[in-house]
Amino acid sequence: MRVKKRSKNRKAVKFYSTCFGFREPYKVLIDGTFVHHLLTQRLLPADDALRDLLSASRTPTLFTSKCVVAELRRLGKSYTESFDAAQLLATTKCEHDKVVSAVNCVLSLIGDKNPEHFFVATQDADLRERLREIPGVPVIYGLKNSLFIEQPSVQQRKFAQLDEEKRLNMDISEYKKLMKAASEGKTTASENGSDGEQHGRPISSLVKNALGVADKNKFKRNRAKGPNPLSCKKKKSKPQPAAIQNQGAAVDGEAKRKRVRKRKRSQKDNKQSETASQNWFP
């Protein structure tokens, strides 16, 4: 079970690192509910627990905000330990003149596309649901004495796919710029004459080079010229027709030379045959 959980977490971290550019050391934005969960379940030290969760080689940096700390202070004596622990974390600058709720503060820090590449650690179900709709926001939560990373939602996967297609395909504005540059190169080549013909290139080559498309001739696949000789049976050598004729003539000569030898009977055999005939015919 541990192996499956760890592989799922690694896949989630790899998704966000490849599609949204998350890099080590990771930054984790923690709210008051998650701080309280870490203390009640004794998941300490918190940075080591999160490093194991993210399978990171470097210790992640833990952040919170002044609005989160102020909310923990207002909750009273039952959250004094969480308030003291939150004050030890690094605080990010939130652009709030007045203190707002922790949920609104976290959402304002994340924005539309999470430019700071924060992992958000929270136990608030409503906040987690709202963060699923924002692309590029991995969410960390806890269940009893174990931590988990939410798998990427459908919206995040669609956004990553569309972003990849945009990078692969060319916009209309970029295409117009390429066509303009190609036409300018063609006109300068015609004005300069023979010298310009050497430097001027056709439109298709300019577009291909701008997109990084290589020519087909550079990538020739080495195909098999014939069957593998080690996997084939050896061909039997066929006898030549002249040799066959010589063999046939030799066989005929041997047949002609053969003589049929007659068996010579001795006198004893003749006598036995005569006695046998007398017995049969008296």
Q: What is the pLDDT of residue 249?
A: 57
Domains in the chain (CATH in brackets) are 1-157 (3.40.50.1010)
Tell me the pLDDT tens digit for each residue of 216-238.
555 567 777 788 888 888 777 77
- Give Cβ neighbours of residue 79 (< 8 Å, ≥ 6 apart): 32, 36, 72
- Give Cβ neighbours of residue 133 (< 8 Å, ≥ 6 apart): 153, 155
Q: Nearest CA to 101 among 74, 81, 78, 76?
A: 74
Series of mean pLDDT values for 10-residue runs along the chain (282 residues): 83 91 93 94 92 93 94 91 93 87 93 92 94 92 92 86 74 75 66 49 51 53 78 75 60 58 61 54 46
Report the C-alpha gap between 182 and 259 in whole angstroms.
99
Q: What's the predicted TM-score (pTM) here?
A: 0.60
